[in-house]
Structure 1
């Protein structure tokens, strides 16, 4: 995932910083710190809510619509990661069962 997926024309600087950190964490999934990603996502949510309370009118609607798209992409990424992890765990469990069978 790159920054252009998380950022849009209405992204405030503080949110860009968080998005950069999330992107850096996701650059290499094998070394990603998922507790840090979770913390950043929560911080991102807090910042978005605060920003929404400060903007009004068309800017608020435009920001919210763009963030909805970003949120959906993050949700899809999280679901894909969960599914991949689930598949990997299943393979490990089956492998262990096969090893026990041949002992």
Structure 2
């Protein structure tokens, strides 16, 4: 999977660190979903807190830039979910085949 670009010109330094960890995780062949959930939750909490403490004008610019990043994260999560479903259905089919020949 290609590396996600999660930073933009309005990304604060602490968020860049979280984004770096997320980007590295998404390039792994078999990423740990619990780590992904932890990082995304951490990212969301940081952003919610950050938005409470910036002026309205900056908030609009930041949120506009974040829309694309969130779209990329959602697409990655959906793609991972579909891959997991495909893998699970393959395991179920294999199990049925084994049981059939017992």
Deviates more, 1:15-24 or 1:53-62: 53-62
Q: Deviations over 1:3-47 (max 9, x none)?
A: 5x20000000000000001111112132x2221211111110011
Question: Once the two structures are superposed, what CA deviation does each residue of 1:46-96 show, in whole Å capped at 9, x if it has no partner?
Answer: 110111111113211010011121112101110110011001100110011
- Partners of 1:26 and 1:52 lie apart in 2 by 26
- Relative to its length, the structure with more helix (as a share) is 1
For structure 2, the residue ranges without an aligned partner over 5 or more in a row are: none
Gap runs ≥5 in structure 1: none
TM-score normalised by L of structure 1: 0.90
1:53 maps onto 2:62 in alignment: no
Q: Which deviates further from its counterpart, 86-95 or 50-59?
A: 50-59
Alignment of 1:23-38 (within 5 A): 23-30=23-30, 32-38=31-37
Q: Hey, what does 2:9 align to over in structure 1?
A: 9
Matches within 5 A, 1:1-103: 1-2=2-3, 5-30=5-30, 32-103=31-102
Question: How many residues are matched?
Answer: 101
